[in-house]
Structure formats: structure tokens, C-alpha cells
Amino acid sequence: MYDQSDPRSALATTAPAEKVAAPRPVETPFAAAEYGRFYRDPPQLADATGRSWYFRGQNFVLHFMEANAGARLIRATQADEYAVILPDAGSAVAVTAGGETQTIEGGNLVFVPPGESAIEVLRPGRIVRLVTTRAADLVELCANRAAYAEPHPNIPAFEAWPAPRDGLRIRSYPLDVPAEPGRFGAIYRCTTMMINMLDVFEGPRDPTKMSPHFHDDFEQCSLALEGSFMHFIRWPWTTDLTAWREDDKELCGSPSVAIIPPPAIHTTRAIGEGRNKLVDIFCPPRIDFSQKAGWVLNADDYPMPANAG
């Protein structure tokens, strides 16, 4: 359910993917939520180039890096398109792929085509890479890889979305987009990912305007870049008592990630006294958000699947 001030309140009558009532019972076991607290957990890699944390969901790997100038992130044989978030305005990278090189300033999102590519850090800052789990070498680095030794239930097999009509290439988009009434954050999509830069919460979120909801068949990854958040998660009851899970209430500072499995009911409250910045990530993109006119800011670049309406 949503407060009427939440733009997602319109989804209940327009798209089935995000629900606001009780989730339909499923007879498969429920997966636990996954939490990576990069501000507290040791990095998987640390050297002169910076510090890196790797964490995964069912279909994706998230690489969070505190990168030093001169660092180079190489993908020699990347199978599909991937995303790079550059949240720090003072940073800069050079992205090479598909026979071209572009210098990208911090404060931008970059989509990188498959094949050979490189990201060279020109000015230091945080880098978030998002690749699918077809990148087996990065999967092996993930701190929570054991949690996915068996595929999590209730999530269908990954299918990439259509490529742009003018082909895959380096594309960049601004992260700092003014809020607009009726639009939910700043959403971009590519063939593999959807990234939603949520509007900043200044101070704690109003506790009388929460948004408990669930998804039938896809995970949500919530990446905290600034501030602190309380994640509330509740799993439905079924006829099988042994499948029930206790409610989950997790405090996460930043940087951190929470990976929320379907069909758990969930909502998140910003609780930091200053700026609270959250990014929601979906792999593959969401159809319901894509169906809302004006929500996906680069919708003209990336078409929806033919059966998405």
C-alpha cells in the first residue's frame, strides 16, 4: 500500500508487477534477504588501485569500489551490456569500448556495450559496476555467493531486453535530475539493468507515509550511497509452517546494499538526520515502471520487449 503522495500509488491499477495487497501464496521455499554493509565488512580486494566489495543477487553482481586515480577495470570478454554508476561529482573516468573512448565526469550513469572494455580512473571516487551473473569471474568474488549455491525460488530465468535500434555503444546519462511531480525518481534502463536514482530524503522519512508492497517474481536491490536506512521485510504465511520466516528489520548505514526477494512484503525508511540517498536496481528492467509515461528518462534509446505493451 502507498500513501497517495507516492507516485507508485498509480501502479496498482496500471500494472501487475508491483502489488500493494497481500502476495499470492507460493508453494516454493522463501529466500532470505541479503545485506552487504560495505562501511563495516572487509573488502574482497584491496591494493594501490583502491578497495572493492562484490555482492550478488540472482541475476546480477554489484561491484562497489573506492577507486584511486590510475585504477583500470578491464572486461576482456564481457558477454552483455553492463552499467557503471559514478556517484561522486569530482571523479572522472575514461571508458573504452566498441572502438571508442569517452571521458565521463562523475555524477553520471554509463552503459557499456558487450565485448572488450576498460574503465580507467582519471580522478578518484566511488564506482559502482553492475553486470549480469554471466560474468562468472566476478560472481566468484562475491561475499554472499554461497547464498546462491542454488537459484533462489520465485524468480524466472533472466532474459535481456531489446538492444537500441541504433546499436549498443557507450551511453551516459546524468544522475542529478530535478524531481518532477508524479514521477518516481530518475529511472534509466539498458538491455540488462534498470537503475532508479531515488529522490534524496533530507532527514528521516515521515513514518506515517511508508510504502509496504511486494513483487511476485523479481528481486529489488537497494544501494545506500548516503545516510542510513531501516529495511522492514515480512514474508507471507502459507499452509506449510516450515516455510515461514521471521520478520526482518535491518539497520544499514552507507555504503550498503539490501537485496529483497519475492514475494516478501517490504518497505524502507530513511532515518539519517542529514542526506539519505538510495538507488534501486533491477535486473532485468521492470515492465511496470517502463509502462509509465515519462518515468524512464532514456526510454527513447532502449525499446521495451514486444510483449510488454
- Over residues 146-175, the mean pLDDT reads 95
Q: Is the pLDDT of residue 157 over 90?
A: yes
Contact status, residue 94 vs residue 83, Cβ threshold 8 Å: no
Per-position DSSP letters for 211-239, written without gaps between them: --BEESS--EEEEEEES-EEEEEEPPP-S
Instruction: Report all structural domains of the chain as residue ranges with CATH numbers, in order of start.
Output: 7-302 (2.60.120.10)
**pTM for the whole structure:** 0.92
- Over residues 159-178, the mean pLDDT reads 97
pLDDT confidence tier of residue 276, bands split at 50, 70 and 90: very high
Q: Is the pLDDT of residue 26 over 90?
A: no
pLDDT of amino acid 217 = 92
pLDDT of amino acid 111 = 98
Q: Which of 88-92, 164-168, 179-183 has the lowest mean pLDDT?
A: 179-183
C-alpha closest to that of 256 among 232, 285, 230: 230
d(Cα 52, Cα 63) in Å, to the nearest integer?
7
Q: Is the pLDDT of residue 14 over 50?
A: no
Query: What are 99's three cell numbers?
Result: 572502438
Question: Which amino acid type is present at position 210?
Answer: M
In whole angstroms, how large is the CA radius of gyration of the chain?
19
d(Cα 46, Cα 53) in Å, to the nearest integer?
9
- Over residues 136-155, the mean pLDDT reads 95
The pLDDT tens digits for 34-88 are 999 999 999 999 999 999 999 999 999 999 999 999 999 999 999 999 999 999 9
Question: What does the mean pLDDT of the chain come to?
Answer: 93
d(Cα 250, Cα 35) in Å, to the nearest integer?
9
- Over residues 226-245, the mean pLDDT reads 93
Q: Is the pLDDT of residue 17 over 60?
A: no
pLDDT confidence tier of residue 20, bands split at 50, 70 and 90: low
**Burial class of 107 by CB neighbour count within 10 A (0 to 12, 13 to 18, 19+):** middle
More confident site: 12 or 46: 46
pLDDT of amino acid 1 = 63
The pLDDT tens digits for 217-233 are 999 999 999 999 999 99
